[in-house]
Amino acid sequence: MQTVRQLADLREAIAAFRKAGERVALVPTMGALHAGHMALVEAAKRHADRVVVSIFVNPKQFGPNEDFAQYPRKELADSTMLSKAGVDILWLPPVEVMYPAGFATNVSVSGVSETLDGAARPGHFDGVATVVSKLFNQVRPDAALFGEKDFQQLAVVRRMAADLDMGLEVIGVVTQRDDDGLALSSRNAYLLPEDRVKAVALPRALGAAARAIEEGGDAQAALAHARDVMTAAGFVLDYVELVDAETLGAPEKGRPGRLLAAARIGTTRLIDNIPVNLNNYG
């Protein structure tokens, strides 16, 4: 695995792949890698001849009171995992390469960026869209892989790639979970042991609500019950909502639905989501 920190070196390495007629896939990450990221790498290997993983803790997607400073940074462990997994290039741009002095561009995707996490974390998806467009322009991949755990992020990136004719395939990969159902996340490392035990209420509440809605139960009552269960477990809720899986707007009978939640347990903010069949909705 080549570890590359300068854009000229990245371009040279990618040009060699292209010259050999190879397909390139990109897995963008912020590091602190876990089995969820490694599932993206494995999927990338199935979609391309060469896999590039980027690690960049992007300051533009953190709000002023968020965890940018304490976000886990584990370059050595990450690099070992990626090398063992057969990744070709680890792209590790320093912040001055990503955002040189005078950087003044903001990429903003309206609609899908505005609700849910977009409302709870103002500016977050502009930061994501800006850095992901830069990564796409730097690597020019044939495919890029994102976890469904960040379901709204995936929708924002898909919209942006389609709107801006970015000419790559955006592939979503199913959320990886611990044995008890908690979605894997770099932020799970913040959880105190007692909060880790309570955190399982999040996927359980979503699962129960999805089952109730799929069986034709009243969706608002199912959502209210999920909110009550999570609050009783100790969560402070940002949202628990049912949306259309593609537009993230109002759900419609017969179309794919998605149930999404964001909530804090202790000082840790967790997000999760699951698909919901809306054939019996409404």
Q: Which two tokens stand for residue 79?
A: 């690099």
Q: Does 132 bind ligand PAF (CB under 6 A)?
A: yes
> Pick from 128, 145, 182, 274: which binds ligand PAF (CB under 6 A)?
128
- Which one of 26-34, 103-111, 171-179, 243-251 is the stretch in contact with ligand PAF (CB under 6 A)? 26-34
Cα gap 31→56, rounded to integer Å: 7
DSSP 179-195: TTSPBP-GGGGG--HHH
Here's the x/- map for ligand PAF, 133-172, by CB under 6 A: it reads as -----------------x--x-------------------
Q: Does 175 bind ligand PAF (CB under 6 A)?
A: no
CB of 228 to ligand PAF, least distance (A): 30
Q: Does 272 bind ligand PAF (CB under 6 A)?
A: no
**Residue type at position 237:** L
For tokens 């063992």, the residue is: 84
Say if CB 53 and CB 27 are below 8 A apart. yes
- Which one of 77-85, 94-102, 125-133, 255-263 is the stretch in contact with ligand PAF (CB under 6 A)? 125-133
Q: Which two tokens stand for residue 155?
A: 């929708």
Our answer to whether residue 124 is catalytic in this structure is no
Q: Does 113 bind ligand PAF (CB under 6 A)?
A: no
- Which one of 73-81, 91-99, 124-132, 223-231 is the stretch in contact with ligand PAF (CB under 6 A)? 124-132
Specify the DSSP class assigned to residue 174: P
CB of 167 to ligand PAF, least distance (A): 19
- DSSP run (H or E) holding 104: none
**Residue type at position 214:** E
Residue 91 class from Cβ within 10 Å (0-12 exposed, 13-18 middle, 19+ buried)? buried
For the annotated catalytic residues, the residue numbers are 37
Catalog residues that contact ligand PAF under the rule CB under 6 A.
28-30, 58, 61, 128, 131-132, 150, 153
